Amino acid sequence: MSKPVSKSISCQDDFDPESLPAEIALNRIIDALEPVSEAERVPPRKALWRVLAEEIVSNINVPSGTNSAMDGYAVFGNDIPENGTAILELAGSSFAGKPFSGTPQPGQAVRIMTGAVMPPGMDTVIMQEHVSVEGERIRIDDATRPGANVRQAGEDIAAGDPVLGKGHRLTPADLGLIASLGTENVLVSRKLRVAFFSTGDELRSVGEELADGQIYDSNRYTLYGMLERLGVESIDMGVIRDDREALRRGFDDAANTADILITSGGVSVGEADYVKEILEQCGSVDFWKVAMKPGRPLAFGQVRGTWFFGLPGNPVSVMVTFYQFVQPALCYLMGMQKIKPQTLKVTCRSNLRKKPGRIEFQRGILDYNDNGEMVVYKTGAQGSGILRSMSQANCFIVLPMDSGSIEAGMSVDVQPFYGIV
């Protein structure tokens, strides 16, 4: 997808021959990483959103026995008349959890409830709507196909079937599925420890007074929220001043306690010098100009084995770069198979201004038009410091590098923030 660097640069576009396409930046990050190898056994309820470190294979049939799919009468398929009606003798009942204990004979029927085990030899359930009860006998009609309304043992899962693959992130449905196999615990990759701090002399924390030119640190809150959703252990290291010694101590502490360190701010030209100097002594780092908007400067490296992501300071840039680079990286480290955000194509209802040259992640609102079709429109102003745009949005509108402005009615790619689970 990268543009030839020979393309002439004009004020009509945003091409910068020195900048790195976002896709290449992500590939470089993923290539450098190695998924964690440690895993732990946890019971199903502790496994929600964790990543499987083993394939789950069923030891049992689900359902365990052949059972009725509805309330009605269990019969021998051979007893169903080809035409007209037939009389069968009632032999007893089979309830879920309390099966019929006898051995039914041809010419007999057993009252049966949904989920109850089929009496031996019987292979068909006739819905009660097709039966009239006449004392201890029932009259059936010819409407039911032999074999109907029965759930076979192992129909959902057969013993020996692989059920969930290694690298799968466990959802609520999976917890139920695991429980339905009688599995008491599952092997999941260990929780990642992710430390983060903000940098900047202008930053104050909630609870402190603001002096002239100071602002509250919001990045530690968005980072905390994004990390919570991923189910990692997060370590908030606070605000660190733009000071060489303080930064060095911050990097040092993080390297001692965390698998990953995320910082925000201080990676743009000029400010990056401290970080570069420190990491040249105790680690390694690359500073990239990524061809994206927002979020152009990005640092990636390591400090004594702890992976380091230096995100830009602007609040929207932090979230965009987290979702596009850090989240896929964390998913990869946890051993997940699918790590990239899902994209949908929908019609855009707004005009979007854009110059070719950088991939853009504009903030959008997915909604329905009068015909019930999904459409997207933009939130208001799109500046990288306007955090409200992220708060209002429920998706990113992803405009590829080469794309120019979008007119209402054109189709665009979106990455939804939320699904049903």
CB atoms near residue 106 (< 10 Å) = 11
Helix (H), strand (E) at residue 251: helix 244-257
The region of 19-27, 175-183, 265-273, 323-331 touching ligand AMP under the rule CB under 6 A is 265-273
> Of Mg ion, ligand AMP, none, which one sits near residue 13, judging by CB under 5 to 8 A according to partner kind?
none
Q: What is the residue-wise DSSP string for 22-86?
A: HHHHHHHHHHH------EEEE-GGG-TT-BBSS-EE-SS-BSSS-EESSSEEEE-GGGS-SSS-E
**Strand 203-204 vs strand 215-216: parallel, antiparallel, or unpaired?**
parallel
Contact with ligand AMP (CB under 6 A) among 5, 215, 344, 381: 215
Residue 44 contacts Mg ion per CB under 5 A: no
Within residues 269-298, the interface with ligand AMP by CB under 6 A covers 271
Residue 312 contacts ligand AMP per CB under 6 A: yes
Nearer to Mg ion, 43 or 238 (CB): 238
Nearer to ligand AMP, 154 or 312 (CB): 312
Residue nearest to ligand AMP (CB): 313
Nearer to ligand AMP, 316 or 329 (CB): 316
Rounded CA-CA distance 410/336 in Å is: 34
Contact with ligand AMP (CB under 6 A) among 19, 58, 68, 219: 219
Residue 34, classified by CB atoms within 10 Å of its CB into exposed (0-12), middle (13-18) or buried (19+), is exposed
Within residues 189-208, the interface with Mg ion by CB under 5 A covers 200
Q: Phi and psi (nearest 5°) for 235?
A: -125, 110
Contact with ligand AMP (CB under 6 A) among 51, 140, 203, 336: 203
Rounded CA-CA distance 244/125 in Å is: 78
Nearer to Mg ion, 134 or 201 (CB): 201
**Closest distance between ligand AMP and the C-beta of residue 212, in Å?**
14
**Closest distance between ligand AMP and the C-beta of residue 196, in Å?**
10
**Closest distance between ligand AMP and the C-beta of residue 388, in Å?**
13
The answer to whether the CB of 218 falls within 8 A of the CB of 387 is yes
Contact with ligand AMP (CB under 6 A) among 104, 295, 310, 313: 313
Contact residues for 97 (Cβ-Cβ < 8 A; gap 6+): 116
Nearer to ligand AMP, 80 or 275 (CB): 275
The region of 15-23, 141-149, 196-204, 335-343 touching ligand AMP under the rule CB under 6 A is 196-204
For residues 294 to 313, the per-residue mask of contacts with Mg ion, x marking binding by CB under 5 A and - elsewhere, is -------------------x
The region of 93-101, 159-167, 216-224, 341-349 touching ligand AMP under the rule CB under 6 A is 216-224
For residues 239 to 268, the per-residue mask of contacts with Mg ion, x marking binding by CB under 5 A and - elsewhere, is --------------------------xx--
Rounded CA-CA distance 314/383 in Å is: 9
Q: Phi and psi (nearest 5°) for 365?
A: -120, 115
Which amino acid, one-letter code, is at 401? M
| Tokens of residue 143, six digits | 């409407």
Rounded CA-CA distance 288/275 in Å is: 13
- List contacts with ligand AMP (CB under 6 A): 198, 200, 202-203, 215, 217-219, 264-266, 268, 271, 312-315
